[in-house]
Chain A
Amino acid sequence: MEVNQETIQHLAELSNFALSESESAGLQSNIQEILTYISELNQLDTEGIEPTYQVFEMENIWRPDEIMKQDASPDELLSLTETVEKHQIKVPKVL
């Protein structure tokens, strides 16, 4: 898998961040090296093996369908941002 600037820009877009030009150049070589390294996994035979996504060993944890007491009030949470108007968080235009 060859990583070029197009790949980097695509990944930055998927990741929702802006990259400077010098950053993009550095990331291109870094990500190329990392992908080359992790590709060594192909040497491991996983034929017929089921994947593991968690090591918790428990399933279906049930609890009563009741609202749990929250640790923070809406006012406390809103106080974490500076741009609050009419009990709403204000953001730049969306469209």
Chain B
Amino acid sequence: MKIASQENSAVAMVKAALERAEKYQPEYHIFNWINEQALDQAQEIDRRIASGEPVGRLAGVPYAIKDNFLAPLGETTASAHILEGFTSPVTATAVQKLEAEGAVLIGRTNLDAFAHGSSTENSYFGPTKNSKDLSRVAGGSSGGSAVAVALDIVQFATGTDTGGSIRQPASFNGVYGLKPTYGAISRYGVVAMASSTDCVGFFTGNPDDLDLLMEITAGQDAKDLTSLPDFYAQSQAKPVKKVGIIKDFDNESIDAEIRAALKAKVEQLRVSDVEIVELEMPALKHALAAYYIIVPAEIASNLSRHDGIRYGFRSESSSHLQDLYCNTRGEGFMSENKRRIMIGNFVLSSGFYDAYYLKAAKARTVIINEYAKAFEKCDLILTPVSPNPAFELGSKVNDPVAMYLEDVFSVPLNLAGLPGLTVPAGQTKQGLDIGLQLVGPRRSDRTLINFAKEMEEK
């Protein structure tokens, strides 16, 4: 991380970030809000440095947050109409920790409304464009954060990953994207999607920065009872001697150039004395179906709080309370939000619960067991992030199942609570970014980051 110092002023760094944000914003639509107060904060950091006062580990570092992190810095919209006008009085724990280290917020980044999507096209404010090709999607749901780092506007950005929402946009834009072990970073103050799989994570330009951000943000939080006692600070990177590749993941449905990139990486590892282990993981192909039962069920429950009464958008024309709920939610949610809420209510309704929700919860156990067996044979697993590079805007937005299939390699981890890391792995002939995914056992986050570093050096 490049931090502010006597020679390198916070004001200069923040000014450069704001200028780049303003320059790219009209074409790429990266931000929902840009922080006009950022320079004041930078000046204060420079003053502290000049007078010899202590500054944090992220002093003057320009950063962005996905617009589903609460903080009284601009409105928190989650790119959804129903939250428009909502300025949170509370601050997400992750944001609080970053601010305490002197990082300077440049803006709030665009996402699929409520993080429902894989392209950032489901945003109420319009899509974010891919950093390499304006006719293509940024990926999603954390598309704005990925592009903000890829275009070098900020040094890092926060994201959330429920089924691939950090890893896929990272791969579409050639940056690093970490989805930590479930519970590593507090979810307090993050707009909830699916509580049993939601994770806070980061986009950066290199693995070292991920390490520092984990050091700063990981840890137990009394405000999130599913946050783990801080394992990251105490953990050590384990040597990686065996890397697993999944046989079932090498087939015609995957883009040829992505398969080639994976093969090239495997060869590179082989020459550097890493043993490659072929894994059979037949249950993983069912993970997507299980995911699109469990996650909508949790969405239906979490999004029931948005009623138009206490904050955000409220529909005007209602004479009765029940109409107010129905009109507010009808007008305030995007189509994809509605699809997921309805699927959730379907799989949870009596008569269908056992056939869908219970079945998916059992599938989740099978998937967890399959990973556990795999990690008896290897230290990490290497897979594609998505079946194809960034696709064209509009090509999948009206075909939900095609959009869901984008997440086929990323969702199994979330069901098992495992950490996953997208590492850049070159580009297609057309110049689109390719990423590969490293997957480790629970709490192996440091090993993943360290191995990414070793791969970068090789």
Contact = CB atoms under 8 A, between A and B. Distances in A.
B326 A43 contact: no
B31 interface: no
Nearest to A20: B330
A75 to B, nearest CB: 10
Interface string B356-375: 10111111111010000000
Interface string A1-12: 100000110011
Nearest to B91: A71
A67 to B, nearest CB: 12
A31 B343 contact: yes
Interface string B220-241: 0011011010000000000000
Contacts of B293: 38, 41
Interface stretch (B12-20, B153-161, B206-214, B282-290): B282-290
A46 B342 contact: no
Contacts of B144: none
Contacts of A41: 286, 289-290, 293, 356, 359-360, 363
Interface size class of B (residues with CB under 8 A): 35 or more
A92 B293 CA distance: 35
Contact of A55 (B182, B283, B333, B343): B182
Majority-rule SS of A interface residues: loop
Interface in A42-76: 42-44, 46, 49-58, 61, 63, 68, 71-73, 76
Nearest to B349: A14
A71 B89 contact: yes
A72 B400 contact: no
B342 A31 contact: yes
Given A12-B342, A92-B321, A33 B401 contact: yes
Given A11-B342, A61-B225, A34 B89 contact: no
Contacts of A18: 323, 326-327, 329-330
A19 to B, nearest CB: 6
A68 B222 contact: yes
Given A19-B330, A31-B339, A46 B366 contact: yes
A17 to B, nearest CB: 4
B52 to A, nearest CB: 33
Interface of B: 86-87, 89-91, 182-183, 196-197, 222-223, 225-226, 228, 283, 286, 289-290, 292-293, 300, 304, 307, 309-312, 314, 318-321, 323-327, 329-330, 333, 335, 338-339, 341-343, 345-347, 349, 352, 356, 358-366, 368, 400-401, 404, 415-417, 442
Given A27-B339, A77-B89, A93-B321, 6 more contacts: A15-B342, A38-B360, A41-B359, A46-B362, A49-B362, A81-B310
**Interface pairs A-B: 6 shortest CB-CB:** A55-B417, A51-B361, A18-B330, A46-B362, A17-B329, A80-B311
